[in-house]
Every structure is written in C-alpha cells, then in structure tokens.
A and B are shown apart, each in its own frame.
Chain A
Amino acid sequence: MKINKNKSEQMKQPGTDSWKTIVKGSFVFVLLIIVVVILSVVKQDAGGIFSRGHFLNWDGSIVNLLRNSVPIVTICGGFTLLIISGYIDLSVGSTLSLSAVIYAIMLLNGFGFFVAFILTLIFGGVLGFINGFLVTKLRITPVIATLITLSLYKGIARLLVAPGVRAIESGGGKTMPDWINNYGRTEFLKLDLPLAFFVAIAVIVILVILQKKSVLGKYSVAIGGNKLAAKLSGINVDKIVWILYILVGVLCALAAIARASYMSLGDPAAGEGMELDVIIAVLLGGTVFAGGEGSITKSVAGAFIIMCLTSGLMTVLQPYWQLFLKGTVLVLAVTLNSLLVKEKAVI
C-alpha cells in the first residue's frame, strides 16, 4: 500500500519551501515575458497573409492583440472566482454566443446603445442564473449542468439566426447602426484602444478588489477550500455560488457585446471554443481546479499568454496548427499546475 506522498510534504516546517512559493507565485508572469520575447524574435512571414514584421509592433499586432483579448480577459476574472470556489462553468462560450446574438438583434431593431447594453447584461445574468439554479438548487454536478446549458444556449443562439444566414447582420431591409463599432473597435479618445478594452481592465480591477477585500472573495476561497466547513461556519454556500454563476453570465454578456461590436454582427459561433481558452488561461495562472486558491491577476496573465500564442502564432504558422497547439498548451499547463500544488482532487 503506497503511503500518500503528500503527507510528508505537509509535515514540512513552514517557511522552508519559500522558494517554491516564489516560483509558484510568479511563474506565469515569467512565462508571459518568455512567450512575448520568443514571438518577437521569430518573425517569419507566413504567406504574406498575416501581419508581418515585429511582433512587438504597437500599431499593428499589439493593438490587435489587446483588442482581441477583450472577451477572454473580461470573462476570466469571474471564471477564476468560480473555479476558486470549486465549481466550473463550461457554458461560457455558448452564453457569449447567445448574448452576442441577442445584442445584435436588439441593435438591428433600433434599440439604443445603452438600452441594448443593459438589457444584454441582464440577459447574461439570467443565463448565469439558470446555471446557478441547476447547480445549487437541483444539485446537478456542475460539469453536467453546464454541459446541458452549453448545448441549450448553443441551440437557441443558432435558431435565432435565420436559416441559411451565418449571423445576425445588416441585410433584409434592416441595417446595423453606424455606431456599432464604437464600443469594441474604434479608438476611444485617441488612445488607440477601444472602450471595451478599458471596460475589461476596469472589470478586472473591480474583481481583484472584490477578491482581496470583500466577503465574496473570502467566501469563495472558503467554499473551495472546504465546503462543509464553510457551510458549518455559517456561509450560505448556495447563495454565494449562485451569485458567482450570475457574475460569470454577466461577464460573458459583456464580452459578447465587445465581440459583436468588434465584428459588427451577432455570430452564434462567436464563443465557440472559448471555454477551452478560459480554462487554459486560468490553469496557466496557477489556479487549482480543486478550488481554494487562485488569483485573478495571474489568470489575466494566463489569458494574455493564450492570446499571444494564438495571434502571435498566426504570424508564423498556418491557422490549422492552432487547435493542436492549444491542446498541447493545455496539457502542459495542466502538468505545470499539478506540479505546483500540494493537494490534488477531482471535480
């Protein structure tokens, strides 16, 4: 019978593994720097289709990269909190797609920006509410519950688009308003980056403050660390988890508005594969999937790593390498993640 190797680690004196803590704490930022450096050194042309020249070219690739990273950065903050509490949401991609479609439909039908914005956010909250309901009230395993909603939302999003048409866009007598790009694409106040980017940064800042200073953050860690102990300490686990799911839903809607605004249409496949990206980002950031610890800033760094890899690699390799590379990165991230944590558990 194998003696649990972790036991001997736990019995170490506190303080002797400080080097490990430092590595664990900063490796994702180091990784980000490494990735950026590598990508700027390798500046091969690939068929002349992709942006050439330096990867670190501000007006070309960097602005593009930051603009494209708005959705994943927006979502990964709330997603991290959810993972910290030990729950998962696999439906983020479909929630994003459905919210984008709803937003586009509203715009196409003459809704004003603020009205459409608020309504879409509320809609995202409702989608997250449903997830929370399935998980907390009906006690369905988060994996299965969010797989169910993934399928449901994906189907509804596709159904809302007329058959034969790829996405909700200008056509058939109705056109998208001119200002549609103002949120997600055009420069905000001559700062080269769209408003959506700054909103995403603001969201992250707010969430980091929430995580470190507020009760929500502390309770998430408590629930993730030991759910029963949290419950017995008087934390309303169901309510907190439900709130987190709603938060993720709202953030998905926010990301959806940015994406729809950027592309000028509501694409029901907008969020396809987003869950993979967000999971990779969170894993790279060192958040443990068993819950109990994690950091939003590190997940954001992880998100940028993924974005650098996907758009940076686009300048070097053909697009059909992307899935393979993403998978490899995920597997490597998972290895890194497991090597750096003491307690291992399954969802």
Chain B
Amino acid sequence: MQNSIDKNAGMNKSLGTSKISSESFITICMLAVLVLLFGIACLFVPNFYFAQNIINLVTNSWYIIVLGIGVTFLLVTGNFDMSVSGIIAMSGVMSVYLSQAATNSRSVLNNGLGMPYVWVIIIPLIASLAIGAINAFFVTKLKVASIIVTLGTMAVARGIAQVITTGSQRNTNLPEIFGKLGNITVVGSIKLAVFIMILFVIIAVLIEKRTVFGRRTYLIGANIQAARLSGVNVEKHVTILYLTSALLAGIVGVLLSSEYISGSSSRAMGLEFDALVIVLLGGTSIAGGFGSVSGAVIGALILSVVTSSATGLLLRPEWQFILKGAVTFIAIIAQRYALDRRKI
C-alpha cells in the first residue's frame, strides 16, 4: 500500500524503501545517456567542447521543445498529434501574408494584406486553434484514430500554406517590425524565443506534476474508463490538449517566420516526426499514462547532440534520417528493458 501511494509522488522517498517514481527514473536514465553521448561527442567530434557550441545545442532546440510539450501531454493520454509541422508552416505563411504591404505588383507573391501587426500575430494563432479544434473533434467525438486524422490535418494545414505561397515562399514587402520578434536577443546572442521556450517548459512541468489537470492527464492515459468513472470529462480534457498543442505550434510558426523574415510552405517539414522522437526519447510511453515534459527536453538535447555530431563529423545530411530512426529504436528498447528489470 505504501509503495502504490508514493509511486507517483515524484522524487519523494517513502519510509523504508527509497523508490522514486518510474518517470523520474527514466528521466535520470536519459540524462545519463545524454551526458554519455555528450562525452563521446566531445572525444570524437572536433570543436565540440566549445561553450558556444554547447549553448547552440540548447538554443537550436527551442522550437522542437515547445512542440514537445504539446506532443508529450497528448501522447500521455494515448493520442498523437502529427499536424504540428503543418500548423507551423501555415501560421508562419499566414503571418507573412497578413503583414506584406498591400501593393498591386504583378508578381502575386509580393502582395499581401497589409494588416496591423497585432492581427498579424493573432489571426494565425486563431487559425492554428481551428486546426486543433478539428483534431479534437475527430478524436473525441468521432473517435477516429488520432494518427490518421492528424496526418490529414497536417496535409490540410501545410496545403493551406502551399496555396498561399503558390508552392514556394513569401518574403518580400515586409515591414520592419516583422523581423523584430524572432530576432530580439535577450542575453548575448540568445534569442527571445529561447526564453519563451524555457517559460513554457517551466509552466508545463508545473502543470504536469502539481496540478489536478496534470494528474488527470496521466489518469486518462493509464485507464480511460477509470478516468471517466471518476468524473473526468475526457472529451473536454483531450480537446484542451489538442488546442494547446496547436496553439504552441502556431506560436512557433509565427516566431520562426519572424526570425527568418519569410513564410515558407516547406518549413518544418518532417518536424512532427522529430517531435515524436524526442518525446519517446524522453521516456513517454506510447501505451499512455507515462512520461514527462522534462524527459522530452532531455530527448531534444540528445537529438541535438546526435545531429550536430553528425554535422561536425562531416557526415552527409542524409545520415540524419538513419540516426533518428536508430536512436528512437534504441531508446524504446532500452527503456522497456530498464523498466522491466526495475519491476522485478
């Protein structure tokens, strides 16, 4: 009885035996893996140990960590969200289109809607929420497999981006204010977006560990019937999660297109897979009911170490696909092995 009460109590040690929760165990294990990989990289990859490189590992992962927050919560409930990359492209392209001056030039890609900056941010976010709402509707009301529906909404969102940009990108006629948000540096050369990411992560971890909403998320994932019978409104809860995930992706899209001062229909291509990879690396189980945002952060750092090592070793960029697949595979097998051994 004592063990089961303390099982989900985070880092608390129970009287007698020192058992930390399974989530924290996995997080610590993956942290060890990160340190190990980092050490190996420092040995073999030239210039890896420079401070700037280490800082880059974190700052270059900001957008995938923000995505990882939404995907983690959803995966804990047993649902996928593959539409995030499409939302990034869509909201980015929309913000550019809204911001472009309303000229009448012959090239269609030069003409925008010339709206005030506040709408340039808000409207794409509303559009992202709409996509999230569609996701939520199909998953909760029609009970469709989330991976199928979110693949569909991903195509819809990215398709919208492609239509607005006629298949390429929009980057002309933009007012100066457009590039500010994504390029403001706060400390040294670290952009504002990184601090937004840190803020979101702190909020997410607090929600996950300390709020009823967080605990209910895990309950839904672990045993959906028990959640329903305990009075949790599962549909509403999952809807909120999908809306949040879509909103986060929308924010990322707006920030990225501000940073690059362009809206590209092919931005963040394949990023939904990367987001899933870091969440899995972080220990979130696809069976649901298990996982944490802090794990996703570590997963993102692991992925960052792996990919920048590959670049540093001058491997061809195509190796990244193989490495991501291999790393995910090893992580899944290793986590299952570690958890099985622990229960014995």
8 Å CB contact of B155 from A319, A327, A344: A327
Q: Does B207 contact A (CB under 8 A)?
A: no
Contact across chains for A1 and B228 when beta carbons are under 8 A apart: yes
Interface magnitude class on chain B: 35 or more
Q: Does B316 contact A (CB under 8 A)?
A: yes
A114 to chain B, nearest CB (A): 31
| Interface hit among A148-156, A176-184, A233-241 | A148-156
Pick the most buried of A140, A279, A334: most chain B CB atoms within 10 A of its CB: A334
8 Å CB contact of B322 from A151, A327, A328: A151
Cα distance A156–B160 in the bound complex, in angstroms: 31
Question: What residue of chain B has the Cβ atom nearest to residue A6's Cβ?
Answer: B143
Q: Which residues of A contact B (CB under 8 A)?
A: 1, 134, 138, 140-141, 143-144, 147-152, 154-156, 158-159, 163, 276, 279, 283, 289-290, 318-328, 330-331, 334-335, 337-339, 344-347
- What residues of A have a CB within 8 angstroms of the CB of B332 in the complex? 140, 144
Contact across chains for A321 and B163 when beta carbons are under 8 A apart: yes
Contact across chains for B318 and A331 when beta carbons are under 8 A apart: no
Cα distance A331–B82 in the bound complex, in angstroms: 14
Q: Does B153 contact A (CB under 8 A)?
A: yes
Cα distance A65–B149 in the bound complex, in angstroms: 27
Cα distance A322–B276 in the bound complex, in angstroms: 26
Question: What residue of chain B has the Cβ atom nearest to residue A326's Cβ?
Answer: B155
| Interface hit among B27-35, B182-190, B323-331 | B323-331
8 Å CB contact of B325 from A143, A149, A290, A339: A149
Contact string, B262-293, partner A, CB cutoff 8 A, digits 1/0? 00010000000100100010000011000000
Contact across chains for A276 and B155 when beta carbons are under 8 A apart: yes
Cα distance A344–B149 in the bound complex, in angstroms: 14
Q: Does B1 contact A (CB under 8 A)?
A: no
Cα distance A290–B145 in the bound complex, in angstroms: 8
Q: Does B175 contact A (CB under 8 A)?
A: no
- What residues of A have a CB within 8 angstroms of the CB of B329 in the complex? 134, 140, 148
Cα distance A290–B151 in the bound complex, in angstroms: 17
Contact string, B124-155, partner A, CB cutoff 8 A, digits 1/0? 00000000001000100011111111011111
Contact across chains for B321 and A158 when beta carbons are under 8 A apart: yes
Q: Does B244 contact A (CB under 8 A)?
A: no
B169 to chain A, nearest CB (A): 12
Q: Does B158 contact A (CB under 8 A)?
A: yes
Pick the most buried of B155, B157, B163, B322: most chain A CB atoms within 10 A of its CB: B155
- What residues of A have a CB within 8 angstroms of the CB of B166 in the complex? 318, 320
A331-B149 in contact given A138-B333, A323-B162 (Cβ < 8 Å): yes
Q: Does B229 contact A (CB under 8 A)?
A: yes
8 Å CB contact of B276 from A147, A155, A159, A328: A147
Contact across chains for B134 and A331 when beta carbons are under 8 A apart: yes
Question: What residue of chain B has the Cβ atom nearest to residue A318's Cβ?
Answer: B166
Pick the most buried of A150, A152, A290, A327: most chain B CB atoms within 10 A of its CB: A327
- What residues of A have a CB within 8 angstroms of the CB of B154 in the complex? 327
Contact across chains for B228 and A279 when beta carbons are under 8 A apart: no
Which 7 pairs from chain A and chain B are nearest by CB? Answer: A324-B159, A327-B155, A155-B321, A327-B156, A155-B322, A330-B152, A320-B167
A237 to chain B, nearest CB (A): 19
A143-B286, A331-B156 given. 12 additional CB < 8 A pairs? Answer: A144-B276, A158-B321, A279-B148, A283-B148, A319-B167, A321-B163, A324-B155, A330-B148, A331-B149, A331-B153, A338-B143, A339-B142
Contact across chains for B163 and A276 when beta carbons are under 8 A apart: no
Q: Of residues 27 to 86 in B, which have CB atoms within 8 Å of A's CB atoms? A: 78, 80, 86
Contact across chains for A148 and B325 when beta carbons are under 8 A apart: yes
- What residues of A have a CB within 8 angstroms of the CB of B163 in the complex? 320-321, 324
- What residues of A have a CB within 8 angstroms of the CB of B320 in the complex? 155
Contact across chains for A326 and B159 when beta carbons are under 8 A apart: yes
Contact across chains for B138 and A331 when beta carbons are under 8 A apart: yes
Cα distance A151–B280 in the bound complex, in angstroms: 15
- What residues of B have a CB within 8 angstroms of the CB of A323 in the complex? 155, 158-159, 162
B285 to chain A, nearest CB (A): 9
A284 to chain B, nearest CB (A): 12
A174 to chain B, nearest CB (A): 21
- What residues of B have a CB within 8 angstroms of the CB of A147 in the complex? 273, 276, 328
B71 to chain A, nearest CB (A): 13
- What residues of A have a CB within 8 angstroms of the CB of B325 in the complex? 148-152, 155
Cα distance A323–B144 in the bound complex, in angstroms: 21
8 Å CB contact of A347 from B147, B159, B324: B147
24 A–B pairs (Cβ distance < 8 Å), ordered by A: A140-B333, A144-B280, A144-B286, A148-B328, A151-B325, A151-B328, A155-B319, A158-B318, A159-B316, A159-B322, A163-B316, A279-B151, A323-B155, A324-B156, A324-B158, A324-B159, A324-B160, A331-B138, A331-B149, A331-B153, A344-B142, A344-B143, A347-B145, A347-B147
Question: What residue of chain B has the Cβ atom nearest to residue A327's Cβ?
Answer: B155
Cα distance A140–B334 in the bound complex, in angstroms: 12
- What residues of B have a CB within 8 angstroms of the CB of A327 in the complex? 86, 152-159
- What residues of A have a CB within 8 angstroms of the CB of B322 in the complex? 151-152, 155-156, 159
- What residues of B have a CB within 8 angstroms of the CB of A344 in the complex? 142-144
Cα distance A160–B322 in the bound complex, in angstroms: 12
- What residues of A have a CB within 8 angstroms of the CB of B144 in the complex? 289, 334, 337-338, 344
- What residues of B have a CB within 8 angstroms of the CB of A330 in the complex? 148, 151-152, 155
Cα distance A290–B228 in the bound complex, in angstroms: 22
A143-B80 in contact given A148-B329, A155-B325, A331-B153 (Cβ < 8 Å): yes
- What residues of A have a CB within 8 angstroms of the CB of B147 in the complex? 143, 347
Question: What residue of chain B has the Cβ atom nearest to residue A134's Cβ?
Answer: B329
Cα distance A318–B59 in the bound complex, in angstroms: 38
